[in-house]
Amino acid sequence: MSSPAKSRRERSGAPVPFSSEWNSSPPPPPRPRRFEFNPHWIQGSTPSWLPSDRTLSALLVLLLVCVAAFATSGGSDPTRLAASDTRQSAQGQGDVTLPAVGADDSEADGSQEPTDDAESTEPAPTEIVTATVNLDQPETVASADGSLLPQYRILTFYGHPHDSNMGILGQYGVENDLDGLRELLEEQAEEYSTADPSRPIKLAFEVIASVAQGSEQEDGSWLLNTDASTVQEYIDYAAAHDMLVFLDVQIGRRGVPEELELVRSFLEQPNVHLALDPEFAIAEGEVPGDHIGSITAADVLYAQQYLVDLTTGLGIPPKVLVVHQFLPSMIQNKENIATVPGVQLVIVMDGHGPPNTKLETYGAVISSQPVEYSGVKLFYDQDIPLLTAREIVSLDPVPDLIIYQ
Q: 212 Cβ partners below 8 Å, 6+ apart?
A: 222, 223, 250, 252, 280, 288, 289
- 217 within domain boundaries: yes
Residue 79 burial (C-beta neighbours within 10 Å; 0-12, 13-18, 19+): exposed
What is the per-residue pLDDT across 296-308, written as a single tens digit (0 to 9) for each? 999 999 999 999 9
Range of the domain at 374: 153-404
pLDDT of residue 95: 36
Question: Would you say 113 and 104 are in contact if contact means Cβ atoms under 8 Å apart?
Answer: no
With CA atoms as reference, report the closest residue to 307 among 335, 282, 339: 339
Q: How far apart are CA 405 and CA 158, in angstroms?
A: 5
CA 396 to chain centre: 21
Q: How far apart are CA 169 and CA 171, in angstroms?
A: 5
- 182 within domain boundaries: yes
Q: How far apart are CA 99 and CA 22, in angstroms?
A: 83
pLDDT of residue 108: 35
Write out the H or E segment, with its range, that includes residue 377.
Answer: strand 373-378
- 115 within domain boundaries: no
- 168 within domain boundaries: yes
- 54 within domain boundaries: no
Amino acid identity of 179? D
- 161 within domain boundaries: yes
Domain total of the chain = 1
With CA atoms as reference, report the closest residue to 340 among 161, 147, 91: 147
- 113 within domain boundaries: no
Question: Would you say 178 and 157 are in contact if contact means Cβ atoms under 8 Å apart?
Answer: no
Amino acid identity of 109? D
Question: Would you say 372 and 124 are in contact if contact means Cβ atoms under 8 Å apart?
Answer: no
Question: Would you say 212 and 222 are in contact if contact means Cβ atoms under 8 Å apart?
Answer: yes
The three state secondary structure string of 106-172 is: HHHCCCCCCCCCHHHHCCCCCCCCCCCCCCCCCCCCCCCCCCCCCCCEEEEEEEECCECCCCHHHHH
Question: Would you say 170 and 160 are in contact if contact means Cβ atoms under 8 Å apart?
Answer: yes
Q: Which residues are bridge partners to 273 per DSSP?
A: 246
Amino acid identity of 222? W
Q: At what angle do helices 228-240 and 178-195 cross, to 10 degrees?
A: 50
* CATH number, domain with residue 313: 3.20.20
pLDDT of residue 173: 83
Q: How far apart are CA 256 and CA 296, in angstroms?
A: 10
Q: What is the pTM of this model?
A: 0.66
- 111 within domain boundaries: no
With CA atoms as reference, report the closest residue to 268 among 235, 240, 230, 305: 235
pLDDT (tens place) for every residue of the chain, 405 residues total: 443 344 434 444 555 555 556 556 555 544 433 333 344 434 444 555 556 556 666 676 677 766 666 655 544 443 333 333 333 333 333 333 323 222 333 333 333 333 344 444 443 433 322 222 233 444 555 678 899 999 999 999 999 999 999 999 999 987 889 999 999 999 999 999 999 999 999 999 999 999 999 999 999 999 999 999 999 999 999 999 999 999 999 999 999 999 999 999 999 999 999 999 999 999 999 999 899 999 999 999 999 999 999 999 999 999 999 999 999 999 999 999 999 999 999 999 999 999 999 999 999 999 999 999 999 999 999 999 999 999 999 999 999 999 999
Phi/psi at 64 (5° precision) = -65, -40
